[in-house]
Amino acid sequence: MAKEGSAVAAYDASSIQILEGLSAVRRRPGMYIGSTDTRGLHHLINEVVANSIDEVLAGACTEIGLTLHKDGSCTVVDNGRGIPVENHPRYGKPALEIVMTILHAGSKFDRNAYKVSGGLHGVGLHVVNALSEWFDVKVKRNGHLYQQRYAQGAPEGPLKELGEAEGTGTEQTFKPDPTVFETVVFDRETVERRLKELSFLNPQVTIRFTDERDGTQQTFYHAGGITEFVTDLNTAKNVLFPTPIFLHAKRDTTDIEVAIQYNDGYNDTTLAFVNDINTVDGGTHVVGLRAALTRTLNDYARSHNFVKGDKEALTGEDVREGLTCVLSVKVLEPQFEGQTKARLGNSEVKGQVESAVNEKLSEYLEEHPGPAQTLISKAVQASQAREAARKARELTRRKGLLEGGGLPGKLADCHSRDPAICELFLVEGDSAGGTAKQGRDREFQAILPLRGKILNVEKARLDRMLQNEAIRSLITAIGTGIGDELDLTKLRYHKIILMTDADVDGSHIRTLLLTLFYRKMPALVKEGHIYIALPPLYRLQKGSKIVYCFADAERDKALKEMGQKGVTIQRYKGLGEMNAEQLRDTTMRPGHRVLLKVTVEDTAKAENLFSILMGEEVEPRRLYIQEHAVEVTNLDI
């Protein structure tokens, strides 16, 4: 389309600027979205949805819809004010095109003071646009419908006016570029979890989610906000008091909200958000919250004669036993740190959260003696158990020394003492353990067979956990210790590999181990030391040619290539069906094996499933098994 007058020069100049900006994003996508794996892919959705959430925060939007389409694209629609389409004076073209190609958080178009920035968050729609094969935007505004389409970030044509329309809103559809991303398949559960989370954090909005790939549809609306979030997290637990404690305060420009409830379990489930971003690695806000919790509960316990003197002081671990908590802070200029930018760095926030929670929580406790006494009694009990655990640990240490070397007798250790190259295989059962011992490379591969039941850590306290032999030998072999005392520098193997059968028992043991690592040794998961070995499902043989396959599709492909005739197929039901050589060549040998690195999300998923299947409430378990009947039977073939 021809432009007239002085706008021409501005248009050309800005077009060059835009193309340069786009190619910068496409050249180094990781700089903008962290990575091009599945995490980076889902970052695109977070970014687009965040823009609609900004309209919610501006009080201009009540509904958001998200649809995953069969062709791999994603639509986000909102009933906000619509991205402005008026000409931008400096660039001589519609504001929408500027938003889609240049501007990002920090621009004069900012609607939300609590912008998300700092590393990977709030990078702007132009980044999503640049990394999409195509991006289609529709805007309803000023009584008209407008539309524009982009390819790899560049406009395919000018903004078009398509006709009249009622109301206002924005509809964005984009298809991630397969030449940029390692995977372009959105994961329903990841999207679902994020939308559910956002609906708790923004109780004003209704979020509808449709996955056209499998026909599922869900609506998220939680008027109760983070209080309801905590109630939801405690669904499968026995709570100590029915209504979560809700605290809200402001310190300077920082807005602080906390919801707290205790259950009769032993774990700490604290989810922390900064400007709606889940800070899985914690940060200053979490440090402030913990300090306040410990201080306030100790003050209350002492002034109400639950404990005497400093000797009996409750520790942080004591007051967090059985805690379920959601902390949501809004920070004006958040600094996100760490590899995945999931930790808050602003030092001033620690004091702000600490002071707010100290004040509001002590007020609450004075006004609600019922819940106050219940939760203090729980912390006092925890403190007594901690003392018992300390004694049990001492005993374990002494016992370990008497057995010689301190390492468990079951462990077939490797020769090397360089943790960086050492690997520990956790193998289900003594028989597979024996095969693994023969098949390993003794130089750097150690084997620990796990016999019998691993204790259900969901229900057990530290002292009982340490009485379980399988868990004790596991912890001793790993070398770091557990809980607050975990010391990563003592890690004896940089790869800890779970090697279990591909059946229900195997998946049960895997879940138990993942829960143990997630709950008691989270640093091992976060630092990427936990792996799952993937044994083959099939062995195809024709004459002297042998092919191992790890999935049904792979088997079908291999069958075609080998010619169906004369091929014998062996289906492996467990590790025990392989001999040492086969196990080595398919599952243990670097370069030949397939290892899956376990992420925090994997463990969170396992953990949630675990609460449902192993917790004490019957109803959620029944519902889960009913809903997943098909999957459960598939697991057991």
Enumerate residues 260-279 that contact ligand 0RA by CB under 6 A: none
**Cα distance between residue 184 and residue 174, in whole Å:** 12
| Neighbour-count burial for 508-524, b at 16+ CB within 10 Å, e otherwise | bbbbbbbbbbbbbbbeb
Nearer CB in complex with ligand 0RA: 170/294: 170
**Cα distance between residue 77 and residue 63, in whole Å:** 8
Nearer CB in complex with ligand 0RA: 3/175: 175
- What's the closest the beta carbon of residue 109 comes to ligand 0RA, in angstroms? 4
By CB under 6 A, tell whether 80 contacts ligand 0RA.
Answer: yes
Phi and psi angles of residue 464, each rounded to the nearest 5 degrees, phi first: -75, -35
The binding track of 11-50 with respect to ligand 0RA, each residue x by CB under 6 A or -, is ----------------------------------------
- What's the closest the beta carbon of residue 96 comes to ligand 0RA, in angstroms? 9
Q: Which of 32, 65, 73, 78 binds ligand 0RA (CB under 6 A)?
A: 78
Nearer CB in complex with ligand 0RA: 55/318: 55
What is the DSSP annotation of 180-219?
T-S--PPPHHHHHHHHHHHHHH-TT-EEEEEETTTTEEEE
By CB under 6 A, tell whether 109 contacts ligand 0RA.
Answer: yes
Helix (H) or strand (E) holding 247: strand 245-251
Q: In sequence order, which residues have a C-beta less than 8 Å from that of residue 17 and are 6 or more positions away? A: 102
> Helix 469-478 crosses helix 369-402 at what angle (to 10 degrees)?
70
- What's the closest the beta carbon of residue 171 comes to ligand 0RA, in angstroms? 9
Contact 478, 492 (CB under 8 A): yes
- What's the closest the beta carbon of residue 90 comes to ligand 0RA, in angstroms? 15
**Cα distance between residue 323 and residue 293, in whole Å:** 11
The binding track of 556-595 with respect to ligand 0RA, each residue x by CB under 6 A or -, is ----------------------------------------
Which residues are identified as catalytic?
428, 501, 503, 505
**Residues pairing with 570 in the sheet:** 539
Q: Report how far Cα 29 is from the mean position of its chain's Cα atoms.
A: 21
Q: In sequence order, which residues have a C-beta less than 8 Å from that of residue 613 and are 6 or more positions away? A: 511, 621, 624
Q: Which of 21, 84, 224, 434 binds ligand 0RA (CB under 6 A)?
A: 84
CA neighbours closer than 13 Å in the CB half-sphere of residue 44: 36
By CB under 6 A, tell whether 170 contacts ligand 0RA.
Answer: yes
Enumerate residues 111-150 that contact ligand 0RA by CB under 6 A: 111
The binding track of 44-73 with respect to ligand 0RA, each residue x by CB under 6 A or -, is -------xx--x------------------
What does the block give as tokens for 496?
A: 């800890």
- What's the closest the beta carbon of residue 100 comes to ligand 0RA, in angstroms? 10
Q: Which of 26, 39, 69, 81 binds ligand 0RA (CB under 6 A)?
A: 81
Binding site for ligand 0RA (CB under 6 A): 51-52, 55, 78, 80-84, 109, 111, 170
